A and B are shown apart, each in its own frame.
Chain A
Amino acid sequence: MIIEPRESVSLLRASLAPVWAILASLIICAVLIAWAGASIPTAYMLLFKGAFGSSFAIKETLTRSIPLIFTGLAVSVAFRAKFYNIGAEGQLYAGALAATFFGTGLITLPPYLMIPFLILMGALAGGALLLVPVLLKTHLKVDEVVTTLLLNFIVLLVVSYLIEGPWKDPMSLGWPQAASIIDEGVLPTLLAKGRLHFGFIVAIVMALLVWLMMRYTVQGYEIRSVGYNARAAEFSGINVNKTVVMTAMISGGLAGIAGVSETAGLKGYLTLDLSPGFGYTGIAVAMLAQLNPLAVIPAAIFLSAVYVGSDAMSRAVNIPTYIADVLVGVSVLAVLCSVMFSQYKVRWKA
């Protein structure tokens, strides 16, 4: 078997790659649906209806996509520079901690200042958390994958300590949760009914900004150069270490905003189940988007639809909800494959 690069990759072929990956993932998960004894078309119909079947469902799907857009952006910026930040989960909680620290009464500002302030603090907290792994990488060559992964567990334990100890809300009837974000800091809801909140607009704007930065600014060019070939970038005068640190700050910041948005927009207060793995799902979002910041939006909405829809589906036809997580995992592998086959061709004989 010989794998060789295609001479040219048409735009159509490149943009179809994630579509093939999604189809392949749906087919693989169909095996599990059949095993559960449900009819495959019915199950997928229920999934689709659960995610998009009513205006309430659509709003719910968009609401769930907000943290995924942020973590997806965080991962795509970092992976673009080949900086493997697997710690978006931890950075999300760091952002949530910052929102809780500043947003529960420490500072009171009018909403038009309070909300940007909380977002900024969350971004700084997420970036600060990633500062540890990135400096260890640039200065001591410590692998960032393991350090970012381990920090996820550490941050979660810090959150657990704070909301069971010093930050525990005395009004919470014994539940481990922090005090509520003050009214000035709560992100307003966008539509009359449903939970869709201002975080969605922030997410879309961020995706646009990141896209513009990656495409049209010197910093974006440097990030891409370091990712393509760090040695060549170094030779052409780019400060690679500085670029990697900057990439990490942007990435950690974006993931931190996800935490602010979930705390101040959706839940209203910090709990330990704020994120059911949005940081890890962000990797799947970024891969499906092929690291393109604008494509992160539809990719996040798609995976959010899978989660929201599979809740409805599993209730109706009795399939474990873990089917959604399986689909996310399979889609990461499938998109790797499909992108490769869009860029390379396979010859079976020499």
Chain B
Amino acid sequence: MSELFDILLTAGFWAATIRIVSPLIFGTLGELICERAGVLNLGIEGIMTVGAMSGWMWVYQGGGLWGGVLFAAFVGATFGLLHAIFTVHLGLSQHVTGIGITLFASSLSYFVYRMLLPDATTPPKIVPFQSIEIPWLSDLPIIGEALFSQSALTYLALLTVPLVWYVLFRTPVGLAVRMSGENPVAVEAQGINVLAIRTGAVMVGSALMAIGGAFITMSWFDAFYFGMINGRGWICVALVIFASWQPGKALLGALLFAGLEAMQVRAQISVGSFIPYQFFLMLPYVMSIVAMIIIARKTKYPQALLVPFRRGERV
């Protein structure tokens, strides 16, 4: 036990936690925005995959790193638009559409990767985002390395949390988004187009998910592997519920998970001889289910989540 406690005092552990949390933040906030507007987006796993592939591929083909992030966001938003056309405009099942988007987006990513790199046996690498040392602050013990010596995308992830909170809770657009997920009829009565608001929210949310995927290939690792998202998208869906649809709580939940993952990698080294590694790898999935059980009785779903809105139809 004391070994586990010692891990908490190492700068490496905290730096890894902040690195691991970044894609979870993008993914969870992206899902949160969609669900706040009343649309469950189970396309997240596939959209993160396609973001990881397209951002990486942009850079590999000679583009800039930020261009890659923008491209990933654009591709993610395009899949978001597809999801919105099906679920918002045609009012089709959000569950089945989302699974369909995930199957489509991830298989298309693999197809495109193989098309462009048919002979690559070992995944080729790019030069990823480098860590930026913030003067003075990065010299602080432990938190210096964890918080102020990260890549630009990690800083962006951390900044996205207050930004999403501000837009959702302090601007008229945010109010319209939240109302679309609670009472779309009331929004329509205000002369605001619910379908447009929901479409926009799903597109922005999907763009964030794709950036989360791109983080993994462009800042955490430097190559694209098959199956690299590995359920992270589903964990984000669980985190949104755990966070009761609050951006601040989403950050806390994501940090808890990232800390757990950083811990398990280190714990494998110290106690790995007694406990098989598979049980460490299971932890995030088991924890996601446990988190949902803990929070289950208290959850207040957005009232209109999963309910398609058709103008002029009585609810």
Interface set of A (CB-CB < 8 Å, partner B): 1, 3, 32, 35-36, 79, 84, 86, 136, 140-143, 145-147, 149-151, 153-154, 157-158, 160-161, 164-165, 280, 283-284, 287, 318, 320, 322-323, 325-326, 328-330, 332-333, 336-337, 340
User: CB-CB < 8 A to A164: which residues of B?
Assistant: 276, 278
Given contacts A141-B296, A157-B282, contact A325 B103 (CB under 8 A): yes
CB nearest to A159 among chain B residues? B278
Residue contact A332 to B99, C-beta cutoff 8 Å? yes
A146 adjacent to B110 (CB under 8 Å) = no
A140 touches B234 (CB 8 A): no
**B86 and A336 within 8 A (CB):** yes
Q: Evaluate contact between B231 and A150: CB separation under 8 angstroms.
A: yes
Q: Are A146 and B288 in contact (CB under 8 A)?
A: yes
Q: Across the two chains, which residue of chain B brings its CB closest to A341? A: B90
* A130, chain B: closest CB distance, angstroms: 13
Residues of B within 8 A of A165 (CB): 276
B104 close to A (CB within 8 Å): yes
Q: How far is the CA of A3 from the CA of B85 in the complex (A)?
A: 13
Residue of B92, B237, B289 with highest tally of chain A CB at under 10 A: B289
Q: Are A322 and B296 in contact (CB under 8 A)?
A: no
Q: List 5 A-B contacts (CB under 8 A).
A: A142-B292, A146-B288, A160-B278, A283-B96, A283-B99
Smallest CB-CB separation from B89: which chain A residue?
A: A1
- Total A-B pairs, Cβ < 8 A: 135
Q: Is the CB of B107 within 8 A of A325?
A: yes
Q: Other than A320-B115, A320-B118, A332-B100, give 11 A-B pairs with Cβ distance below 8 A.
A: A3-B310, A32-B111, A136-B292, A142-B296, A151-B289, A153-B231, A153-B285, A158-B278, A329-B108, A330-B104, A336-B100
* Contact with B237, one of A84, A146, A322, A323 (Cβ below 8 angstroms): A146
Helix, strand, loop or mixed for chain A's interface?
helix
User: Once the chains are docked, how many angstroms separate the CA of A157 from the CA of B285?
Assistant: 11
Task: Please report the C-alpha to C-alpha distance between residue A136 and residue B295 in the assembled complex, in whole angstroms.
Answer: 12
Closest Cβ of chain A to B192, distance in Å, is 18
In the assembled complex, the CB of A94 is this many whole angstroms from the nearest CB of chain B, namely 15
Shortest distance between the CB of B106 and any CB in chain A (Å):
8
Chain A residues with CB under 8 A of B105: 329
CA distance A330 to B90 in the complex (A): 17
Interface residues on B, range: 35 or more
In Å, the complex CA distance between A323 and B100 comes to 15
**B114 interface residue per 8 A CB criterion:** yes
**A141, B107: Cβ atoms closer than 8 Å:** no
Shortest Cβ distance from A277 into B: residue: B103
Given contacts A146-B241, A160-B278, contact A328 B231 (CB under 8 A): no
Could you tell me if A161 and B108 are in contact, using CB atoms closer than 8 angstroms? Answer: no
Is B111 within 8 A of A333, CB to CB? no
**Distance, CA A330 to CA B101, complexed state (A):** 8
Cα–Cα, bound, A141→B276 (Å): 33
Q: Can you name the residue of chain B whose Cβ is closest to the Cβ of A350?
A: B312
Say yes or no: B99 contacts A142, CB within 8 Å. Answer: no
Taking a contact as CB atoms under 8 Å apart, the answer to whether A337 and B288 are in contact is no
Identify the closest chain B residue to A150 (Cβ): B285
Whether the pair B279, A329 counts as a contact (CB closer than 8 A) is no
| Nearest CB on B from A299, distance (A) | 15
Cβ proximity bits B84-100 to A, threshold 8 Å, 1 near / 0 not = 00100111110111011
* Docked-complex contact A329 and B114, CB < 8 angstroms: no
Q: Which 5 A-B pairs have the closest CB atoms?
A: A329-B104, A325-B107, A329-B103, A332-B100, A320-B114
Residues of B within 8 Å of A149, CB to CB, are: 231, 234
Closest to B240 in A: A146
The interface residues of chain A lying within 8 Å CB-to-CB of B234 are 146, 149-150, 153
